[in-house]
Amino acid sequence: MSIVTKEQVLQALSQVQDPELCKDLVSLNMIKDITVNGGKVAFTVELTTPACPLRHQIQKDAETAVLALEGVDSVHVTMGARVPQDTKIKDLSIKNIIAVGSGKGGVGKSTVAVNLAVALAKCGASVGLLDADIYGPNVPTMMGVNSLPPTPQNKKIQPAVAYGVKVMSIGFMVTAGQPLIWRGPMLHSAIKQFLQDVDWGDLDYLIVDLPPGTGDVQLSLVQTVPLSGGVIVTMPQQVSFDDAARAVSMFRKMDVPLLGIVENMSYLKMEDGSLRRLFGEGGGEMLSRMAGAPLLANIPIDELVREGGDQGQPVVINYPESDGAKALEALAQSVAARMSMEVYG
C-alpha cells in the first residue's frame, strides 16, 4: 500500500485553481495544516474572503484532487478565510472598507448598501454598515433599529446590531425630522468619530453608504482611512448616467479602486414573464464601459425590496426567494469576488 506524503498532497492541490483569481491554491498560500494519518488526509483552505461565492466549488475540487492520489481513502477539508495583515487600517481591525456611492439621490443607493451588508453577513462574513449620508440617514429605518446600545464608561461607542451587521448612523443622534446644517469641518469630525470612536471590533467588511454626489463627506472619508473599493449605483436612464459618471471620476481622482457598477430599477417583470424597461435601458452598461469596470448587477423593480426597506426588514432576509433578493445576493458575491481580486489578483 502506498504511503501518502504531505508533499504529494501539496502537489495535487497545486493543480487546483481559485476560479476568480486564476491561480492555484498552493501559490496563493491558501493551504494550511495538512495532516496525513494512513489513508486519511485533512487540511484547511484559507479563502480570500469568508463570503467567497465559489467556496463549495473550491472545496469539491480540492477534495477530488487529493482523493485521486493512490493510497488516500478519505479527505477532510476545513474551509476558512484570511486577509493579509497589511490591509488592516491603523487601529481599526477592518479588512475591507467599501464605499457605495451615486451621482444623484433617489437611485436606491442606501437600499443597495443595506442589502449588500446583510447579504455578506449571511455568507458568514463579519460586517459593519456605516451610514455616512449625513443629510439623509435612512439606514436605521431600513435596518429596523432606532437607537444605540449604552456606551460603557470610558469605552468606545457601541454600534447597533441588526441581522448580524454592526450599524452606525448620525440618525441615532438627532431628533427625527431635525435638519443638519453642517459645514466641512463638522462633517470631517463626524466621519472621523464614526470610524475611530466606534467599537467596530474585527470586521471583514465595512460598507459605507455615502451621500449622493461628490462633496465633503467623500473627501473626509478618504482623508481619514484608505478605501479598499467603491461601488457606483445608477439607473438605466441618461440623466442617471451623466450624474453617475461624475461619481466614477470622483473615485478615480481619490485613487479608490472601482469594484463595479450596479444598475438599480433595471426592469419590471410582468406576470407573463416579459420585462418592462420603465426607466429606459443601457445606462449601467454604458457606465461600465466608460469606467472600465464590470456591471455587477441589474436589480429589478420589486415591490418587496421597497417593502423590506420601509419595514426595517431587508429583502434578502424577509423575502430571500424574490427576484430582487436574488439579484442583491448575487451582487454581494460579485463584490466579494472583486474585492478578492483587488487584494490577491
Residues 6+ apart with CB under 8 A from 67: 74, 75
CA 184 – CA 49 distance, rounded (Å)? 35
pLDDT at 319 over 80: yes
pLDDT at 183 over 70: no
**Mean pLDDT of the 235-244 span:** 84
CA 184 – CA 206 distance, rounded (Å)? 23
pLDDT at 89 over 60: no
The confidence score (pLDDT) of residue 215 equals 65
Q: What is the pLDDT of residues 158-171, one digit of tens each?
A: 999 999 999 999 88
Contact in structure between 331 and 112 (CB atoms under 8 Å): yes
CA 16 – CA 171 distance, rounded (Å)? 48
CA distances from 57 to 14, 49, 79, 241 (A): 16, 14, 11, 36
**Mean pLDDT of the 135-150 span:** 90
313-322 in b/e form (b: 16+ CB < 10 A) is: bbbbbbbeeb
**Given pLDDT bands bounded at 50, 70 and 90, which one contains residue 177?**
low
- Ordered by where they begin, the domains of the chain are 6-82 (3.30.300.130), 86-344 (3.40.50.300)
Q: What is the pLDDT of residues 34-87, one digit of tens each?
A: 999 989 999 999 887 777 778 889 999 999 999 999 999 999 999 987 654 444
Over the chain, what is the mean pLDDT? 87
Residue with more model confidence, 258 or 80? 258
**Mean pLDDT of the 225-244 span:** 87
**Mean pLDDT of the 17-24 span:** 85
Backbone angles phi, psi at 100, to 5 degrees: -110, 115
Contact in structure between 248 and 291 (CB atoms under 8 Å): yes
Residues 6+ apart with CB under 8 A from 4: 36, 39, 41, 69, 70, 71, 72
Question: pTM here?
Answer: 0.83
pLDDT at 344 over 80: no
Q: In what order do the strands lie in the sheet with 74-81?
A: 31-37, 40-47, 74-81
- Residue type for 210, please? L
The confidence score (pLDDT) of residue 32 equals 93
